[in-house]
């Protein structure tokens, strides 16, 4: 579903933010992308979802290059950024409707899914209010719902658990598992290693732009905890 | 004091973007920033030049009737008006609901230090404007009055204290607007409506202001008494500069400091509470899911743009004034006939030239109403939504251009028809006018978008900085003025007699400009959007 081949991205001064990384993610798999602050996680994610242009390497979504067919690829992706900066001047329902229009979700389908997810994440009564009046967590929930209502084949999440209350975090984890069973591939970055260890099928650890460990969760962590492996790899110069 | 200095220095560097000039490592970016800086400087210098020339001629005329002192008074009045009106919006963004409020309040800094820092920032901005507007006029006065060189010492002191009271006034107005609006559900609607009314009132007053000032001055025993009725502190400032009276200077400084200090003392006590009150937002939380309607991508993007526009008062007010002024001018011709046109032009000309002049004012007012020149910048931190969703760049552009066109074109077309009815020019002229209006509205909307793609400002703390102070808006105004100026220049220099032929040439010229802009938008524009 997602294949990153020898992807590199340089800063303006020539220094590499991401250096020759390759990752493969199949349908129905959950992939955890772990690294310290500034390691290159968000840069990689932004390139996958088509926000960031890149020259070196290739990123394929369902076998299609994001460079060659960005619109076709974006149709299959839902992206949730690390900070829910969304249109404060719209109401919650107007934002969800806008996203549904862009992804061409039928009227019946969007009604059903908005009702389902808004009730699940307990945000339905607030959908008529302006987003500017929402708390950080409410905005996060709204972005999550907007990602789920167009049934993406690939869900990309950047630090999805930041700002969510415990119940919403639990719901999100459950939803991620459910989506995987239905065939959606999920790629997410996180600092919460316990969560990654629990729900991920595959994991990659990125350090200063390079992948230092990658593979199935059991193979990467062996008998240790993911946190021990992460600390060992990050501290090891 | 130390904290005040640190805070002022940091906020000043942040708000002016001076680091872009000094610390930018990329040579290309640095060159771009320096070029923009030079361009802005040239424009301000030309403003200073025109202020000097105007006041020079005015001083000559006033000196002839023995009223030279009135020249410095008029420049004071003008400066005070400029400061009050330009600071209302700046104060709203700086003092109330500013994005750094929580960060600053969480630090061990007294609220009055934060308030003073913000007021200092406001002061510096106004000093910058005064250098190019007030100073040239004050120097002209010095030359004409042949005062002693002590004048410059007095001038320096007056210059420093001049903006204090106007800034306090505009901050109070800004506070009232913010306070009232935060307590209402449809606050933006009310701000928009109220501000448009205020602008109309100002226009109305300015129509009669010449008479008004004249009447006040004439009915007063002396000029000084006249001024004291309009704005009392200016009488002392005027006397300080005209007769170099130290007592008057001291009184002017005293009044300014007292007014400023009272404001700081009262507002710093309630600064925290005011900002917290303004943060309280209206939330009903009683939504029930009803029937949802779906739209096409283009319609969805257009609706999003329109909602952004109508929910951002500064964006709306800055751009809607052009169509409103145009409609007022058109209606004025119904009442006053050709006289209204001559008043706007400040000269009389033959009937044959009236349609050309109308074409120029229509294009001029459309240039003032460009929403697209800040539409990319206003995406700000939301830009990821457009970039990560499956929308072709051209669709995004269409939404932004459509909003601009729909805001300006109906008013412009209606105005054209009113002009046609009231001024009774030929049908052929009307058709040319309508064609020019339609093409030019596309030209200005597309030009604004291209310029904004070249100069996006996505990191901002207040919409005011994007809408009123960004490079993009400034460059768009300059280029639009250039596009309109070319045919005017050709007409004046070319000794043109066949008006219809000239109109055809203008249409061809605008079509060429439009085609070039469309090509740029669809090629370079798309690339620029991808790179942002």
Contact between A79 and A32 under an 8 Å Cβ cutoff? The reply is no
What integer is the mean pLDDT of B332-354?
Answer: 77
Q: Cβ–Cβ contacts within 10 Å for residue B139, how many? A: 17
What integer is the mean pLDDT of B218-228?
Answer: 61
B311 touches chain A (CB under 8 A): yes
What integer is the mean pLDDT of B459-471?
Answer: 83
What integer is the mean pLDDT of B307-317?
Answer: 87
Interface contact flag, A102 B391, Cβ < 8 Å: yes
Tens of pLDDT, residue by residue over A4-57, are: 999 998 877 778 889 999 999 999 999 999 998 888 999 999 999 998 888 899
Interface contact flag, B300 A102, Cβ < 8 Å: yes
Of B390, B460, B463, B530, which to mutate for an interface test with A (greatest number of A Cβ within 10 Å)? Answer: B390
Phi-psi region of B293 (alpha: psi -120 to 50; beta: other; left: phi over 0): beta
Residue B518 pLDDT greater than 90, yes or no: yes
Cα separation, B110 vs B33, whole angstroms: 35
Of B279, B300, B384, B389, which to mutate for an interface test with A (greatest number of A Cβ within 10 Å)? Answer: B389
Chain B residues closer than 8 Å to A126 by CB: 283, 285, 287
Six token digits for residue B435: 């064609």
Residue B364 pLDDT greater than 60, yes or no: yes
What integer is the mean pLDDT of B478-502?
Answer: 89
Tens of pLDDT, residue by residue over B152-194, are: 999 999 999 999 999 999 888 888 877 776 666 566 667 677 7
Q: Which residue of A has its CA nearest to B391?
A: A71
Q: Strands, DSSP E only, in B125-239?
A: none
B385 touches chain A (CB under 8 A): yes
**B287 pLDDT band (50/70/90 cuts)?**
confident
Cα separation, A125 vs B531, whole angstroms: 39
What integer is the mean pLDDT of B310-337?
Answer: 86
Is 2.40.110.10 the CATH classification of the domain at A2-235? no
A98 touches chain B (CB under 8 A): yes
**B203 pLDDT band (50/70/90 cuts)?**
low
Interface contact flag, A115 B289, Cβ < 8 Å: yes
**What pTM was estimated for this model as a whole?**
0.76
**B214 pLDDT band (50/70/90 cuts)?**
low
Residue appearing with tokens 């403003």: B47
Tens of pLDDT, residue by residue over A86-108, are: 998 888 999 999 999 999 999 99
Six token digits for residue B276: 């917290």
Which pLDDT score is estimated for B187?
65
Which pLDDT score is estimated for B109?
83
Tens of pLDDT, residue by residue over A221-235, are: 888 888 888 888 877
Alpha-carbon distance B289 to nearest alpha carbon in chain A (angstroms): 7
Of B185, B292, B311, which to mutate for an interface test with A (greatest number of A Cβ within 10 Å)? Answer: B292
Which pLDDT score is estimated for B218?
60
- Between B416 and B91, name the one with better pLDDT: B416
The SS3 call for residue B168 is helix
Task: Compute the mean pLDDT over every residue in chain A, rounded to the nearest whole number.
Answer: 90
Interface contact flag, A50 B388, Cβ < 8 Å: yes
Which pLDDT score is estimated for B7?
87
- Between B47 and A185, name the one with better pLDDT: A185
Which pLDDT score is estimated for B281?
63
**B217 pLDDT band (50/70/90 cuts)?**
low
Residue B391 pLDDT greater than 60, yes or no: yes
DSSP structure class, residue B53: H
Which pLDDT score is estimated for B468?
81
Q: Which helix (H) or strand (E) holds A81?
A: none
The residues, any chain, with a CB within 8 Å of residue A39's CB and separated by 6 or more, are A206, A207, A208, A209
Distance of CA B378 to the CA centre of its chain: 17
Residue B80 pLDDT greater than 90, yes or no: no
> What percent of chain B is modeled with pLDDT above 70?
90
What integer is the mean pLDDT of B224-243?
Answer: 79
């Amino acid at each position: 579903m997602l294949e990153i081949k020898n992807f590199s991205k340089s800063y303006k001064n020539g220094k590499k933010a991401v250096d020759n990384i390759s990752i493969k993610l199949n349908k129905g798999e959950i992939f955890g992308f772990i690294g310290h602050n500034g390691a290159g996680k968000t840069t990689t994610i932004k390139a996958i979802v088509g926000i960031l242009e890149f020259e070196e390497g290739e990123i394929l979504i369902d076998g299609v290059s994001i460079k060659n067919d960005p619109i076709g690829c974006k149709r299959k992706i839902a992206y949730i950024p690390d900070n829910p900066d969304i249109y404060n001047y719209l109401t919650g329902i107007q934002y969800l409707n806008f996203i549904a229009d862009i992804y061409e979700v039928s009227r019946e389908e969007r009604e059903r899914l908005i009702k389902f997810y808004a009730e699940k994440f307990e945000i339905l009564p607030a959908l008529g209010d302006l987003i500017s009046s929402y708390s950080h967590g409410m905005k996060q929930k709204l972005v999550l719902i907007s990602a789920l209502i167009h049934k993406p084949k690939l869900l990309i999440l950047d630090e999805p658990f930041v700002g969510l209350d415990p119940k919403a975090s639990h719901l999100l984890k459950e939803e991620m598992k459910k989506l995987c069973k239905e065939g959606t591939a999920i790629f997410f970055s996180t600092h919460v290693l316990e969560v990654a260890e629990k729900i991920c099928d595959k994991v990659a650890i990125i350090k200063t732009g390079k992948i230092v460990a990658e593979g199935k969760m059991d193979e990467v962590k062996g008998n240790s905890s993911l946190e021990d492996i992460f600390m060992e790899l990050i501290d090891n110069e | 004091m130390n904290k005040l200095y640190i805070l002022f220095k940091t906020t000043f560097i942040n708000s002016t973007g001076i680091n872009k000039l000094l610390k930018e490592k990329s040579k290309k970016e640095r060159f771009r920033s320096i070029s923009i800086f030079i361009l802005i400087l040239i424009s301000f210098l030309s403003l200073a030049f025109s202020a000097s020339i105007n006041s020079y001629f005015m001083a000559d005329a006033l000196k002839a009737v023995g009223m030279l002192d009135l020249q410095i008074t008029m420049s004071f009045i003008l400066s005070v008006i400029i400061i009050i009106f330009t600071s209302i919006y700046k104060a709203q963004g700086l003092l109330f609901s500013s994005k750094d409020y929580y960060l600053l309040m969480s630090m061990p800094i007294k609220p009055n230090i934060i308030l003073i820092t913000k007021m200092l920032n406001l002061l510096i901005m106004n000093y910058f404007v005064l250098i190019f507007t007030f100073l040239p006029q004050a120097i002209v006065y010095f030359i004409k009055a042949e005062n002693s060189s002590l004048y410059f010492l007095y001038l320096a002191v007056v210059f420093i204290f001049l903006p204090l009271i106007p800034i306090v006034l505009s901050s109070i107005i800004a506070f009232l607007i913010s306070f009232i609006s935060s307590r209402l559900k449809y606050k933006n609607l009310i701000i928009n409506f109220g501000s448009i009314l205020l602008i109309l009132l100002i226009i109305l007053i300015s129509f009669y202001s010449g008479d008004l000032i004249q009447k006040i001055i004439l009915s007063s025993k002396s000029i000084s008494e006249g001024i004291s009725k309009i704005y009392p502190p200016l009488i002392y400032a005027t006397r300080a500069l005209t007769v170099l009276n130290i007592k008057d200077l001291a009184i002017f400084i005293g009044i300014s400091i007292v007014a400023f200090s009272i404001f700081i003392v009262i507002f710093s006590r309630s600064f925290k509470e005011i900002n917290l009150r303004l943060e309280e937002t209206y939330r009903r939380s009683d939504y029930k899911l009803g029937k949802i309607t779906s739209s096409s991508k283009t319609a969805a993007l257009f609706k999003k743009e329109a909602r952004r526009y109508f929910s951002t008062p500064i964006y709306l007010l800055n751009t809607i004034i052009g169509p409103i002024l145009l409609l007022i001018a058109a209606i004025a011709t119904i009442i006053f006939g050709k006289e209204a046109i001559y008043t706007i032009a400040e000269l009389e000309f033959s009937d044959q030239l009236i349609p050309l002049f109308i074409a120029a004012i229509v294009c001029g007012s459309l240039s003032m109403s460009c929403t697209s020149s800040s539409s990319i910048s206003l995406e700000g931190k939301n830009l990821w939504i457009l970039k990560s969703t499956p929308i072709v760049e051209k669709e995004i552009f269409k939404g932004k251009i459509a909003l601009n066109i729909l805001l300006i074109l109906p008013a412009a077309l209606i105005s054209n028809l009113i002009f046609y009815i009231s001024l009774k020019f030929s049908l052929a002229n009307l058709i040319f006018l309508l064609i020019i209006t339609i093409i030019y509205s596309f030209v200005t909307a597309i030009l604004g978008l291209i310029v904004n793609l070249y100069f996006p400002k996505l990191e901002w703390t207040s919409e005011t900085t994007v809408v009123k102070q960004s490079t993009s808006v400034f460059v768009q105004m300059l280029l639009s003025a250039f596009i309109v100026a070319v045919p005017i220049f050709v007409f004046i220099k070319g000794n043109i007699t066949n008006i219809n032929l000239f109109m055809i040439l203008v249409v061809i010229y605008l079509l060429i400009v439009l085609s070039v802009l469309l090509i740029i938008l669809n090629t370079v524009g798309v690339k620029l959007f991808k790179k942002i």
